[in-house]
Amino acid sequence: MSALETPSLKPETQNTRTFRHVLTVIARDPLSLVSTIVIILFILIAVFARQIAPYPLEGAGKTNVANTMLSPSWEHPFGTDKLGRDVLSRVIVGAQPALIVPIGVVLFAILIGAPLGAIAGYKGGWVDEVIMRITDLFLAFPSLLLAMAIASALGRGLGKAAFALVISWWPWYTRLVRGVTLSLKERYFVEAAQAVGVRDSVIILRHILPNTISPILVQATVDLGTVILAMGGLAFLGLGTQPPAPDWGLMVSEGRTYILTQPWIATFPGIAIFVVVLAFNLLGDTLRDIFDPRQYK
């Protein structure tokens, strides 16, 4: 009995899509390699922001009236803003809300969306119907518009903006995982598990969800770029991080008034968003080619 059970219950793994294979492809493609390095670098900067920033207190919002609107120099490589704060320090400290929070948003969206998608796809019938109709409700709105509405219903603040983004992003993962689950359901290893009487919850947790990880990862990489842009947008509109705390989107908004005379205030945080999002999109493109060469969107 156990001789029969063991091989048939093992989830299938494709040799070409192993972690090592992904690393090799990324290492061979200069653009992806640079993107990966940029992403890791920015995450490290965000994590150790207080240690790295030359003026950590100004980065967090302390004003320095003696140094207002200084143009970039050795002392202040990105210049200073209208309250005399070192822009470089603020870009570094601002990486936390602008980069780490979106990563958290995507993680939570996956944690909510993926299990629902797996349940909908696996169970079918009315469960599927109910879950997918609710999903449709959320997808009937442009994501950023929905996030803006929810964020303003909750009140301003970084946490509330992040929550609003999670609420408007999870349905995408439900839809994705449901699609993958529908095709996994037909595979032998799932049928085998059903045949030996494994419970539905165990099949979903142990056999379906682990096999949806690669498409989720690809989607998440591309989504991270979009969510960083959305988060920056909310901050720009004043719905995210509140002053005097730094956030890239907020800094662009604050520097906008001085764009013609002191362009550095808005430019450096703007470039930071652009570079990070570009890196995620380039990497996401490569990942998509590896996991699904046919579906290059």
Of residues 208, 285, 286, 287, which one binds another protein by CB under 8 A? 285
Distance CA 43, CA 150 (A): 28
CA distance 281 to 211: 23
**Host H or E run for residue 103:** helix 101-123
Write the CB contacts of 236 (distance below 8 Å, at least 6 apart in sequence): 249, 250, 252, 253
Q: How many residues bind another protein (CB under 8 A)?
A: 46
At its nearest, how many Å lie between another protein and the CB of residue 65?
Answer: 26
Report the site for another protein in 198-227 (rule: CB under 8 A).
225
Cis, peptide link before residue 244, omega less than 30° from 0: yes
Binding status of residue 137 toward another protein by CB under 8 A: yes
Stretch of residues binding another protein (CB under 8 A), selected from 9-17, 43-51, 57-65, 271-279 = 271-279
Nearer to another protein by C-beta: 55 or 169? 169
CA neighbours within 13 Å on the CB side: how many for 53? 25
Could you give the CA distance from residue 152 to residue 7 in angstroms, rounded to a whole number? 53
Contact 92, 45 (CB under 8 A): yes
Q: Contacting another protein (CB under 8 A), which of 141, 182, 206, 244?
A: 141
Question: Residue 200 is encoded by which pair of tokens?
Answer: 């539905």
Q: Does residue number 267 form part of the binding site for another protein (CB under 8 A)? A: yes
Q: Enter the tokens of residue 96.
A: 């936390």
d(CA 61, CA 257): 19
Smallest distance, Å, CB 171 to another protein?
12
176 near another protein (CB under 8 A): no
Distance CA 277, CA 224 (A): 8
Q: Which stretch binds another protein (CB under 8 A): 62-70, 188-196, 203-211, 230-238?
A: 230-238
Residue 146 interacting with another protein (CB under 8 A): yes
Among 90, 249, 262, 287, binds another protein (CB under 8 A): 249
Among 74, 125, 126, 133, binds another protein (CB under 8 A): 133
By CB under 8 A, is residue 252 in contact with another protein? yes
Is 237 among the residues that bind another protein (CB under 8 A)?
Answer: yes
- Pull the structure tokens for residue 129: 């119907």
Binding positions for another protein, rule: CB under 8 A: 133, 136-138, 140-146, 148-150, 152-154, 225, 229, 232-233, 236-239, 249, 252-253, 256, 259-260, 263, 266-267, 270-271, 273-274, 277-278, 281-282, 285, 295-297
